[in-house]
Amino acid sequence: MTDLVRRGVCLVLSAPSGAGKTAITDALIATEPRLRRSVSVTTRKPRPGEVDGVHYHFMTEAEFARAEQAGDLLEWARVLQGTHAYGTPRAPVEQALAAGDDLVFDIDWQGHRFLREKLPNDVVGVFILPPSLKALESRLRKRAGDNESEIARRMAVSRDEIAHWTEFDHVVINDDLPTAIAAVRATLHAARQTVARQIGVADFVRGLDG
């Protein structure tokens, strides 16, 4: 098989909590050698077992502010009532794309929107939907063990996130995990083969008569 030079893909997987995004991401990472996670920066403290540069790049508030003001972040947001900031560093993403490596992003619809604005030709967005809101609520109850008010809050957030599914290139309904994984994998493989990504094809075509 001819191995052509290509530009990498930014694969954004977005979904309401409990829709299966993490399971799909883990399955793809385990089986796609040219795909890796985009490591976000954050101002929160490391949790037990987290390693700087592997799980997150941990920053102080001052460092994060300087990175944001310098344009070193492709997207960023504050969560938990503004307590902690998270963002995507620009340099490692651009380096990966130029090297032909693909990155998968675990960000919400707002992050997807900002990332697409900064890298309009490199982002492929996939929104993962649950088979029903009832199924989503059931998954949240089994996983989180939260009280009723927290479940209600999470479901309200989920409804808001689902309302933005039309902003994405693809949508996958996760009513069967292996099928959903296969659908996202097919999307990634198709994105890799677009003419715009195949930067080595021009040289290949010129050499066909050689």
Hey, what domains does the chain have and what are their CATH numbers?
Answer: 10-38+101-206 (3.40.50.300)
Instruction: Report the alpha-carbon distance of residue 47 to residue 123 in Å, rounded.
Output: 30
Locus of tokens 């490596």: 101
Q: What is the DSSP letter of 147?
A: -
pLDDT of residue 150: 83
Locus of tokens 């920066």: 41
Q: Has this prediction a pTM greater than 0.85?
A: yes
pLDDT of residue 147: 77
Q: Give the phi and the psi of residue 51 in degrees, each rounded to 5.
A: -115, 130
Instruction: Report the alpha-carbon distance of residue 102 to residue 181 in Å, rounded.
Output: 17
pLDDT of residue 80: 59
pLDDT of residue 167: 97
pLDDT of residue 1: 59
Instruction: Report the alpha-carbon distance of residue 34 to residue 52 in Å, rounded.
Output: 22
**Spans of the chain below 70 pLDDT:** 1, 80-82, 143-146, 210
Q: pLDDT tens digits for 20-41?
A: 999 999 999 999 999 999 999 9
- Which residue from 177, 198, 185 is spatially nearest to 21, judged by alpha carbons? 177
pLDDT of residue 125: 98
pLDDT of residue 81: 60
Contacts by residues 148-157 (CB-CB < 8 Å, ≥ 24 positions apart): 154/17, 154/18, 157/16, 157/17
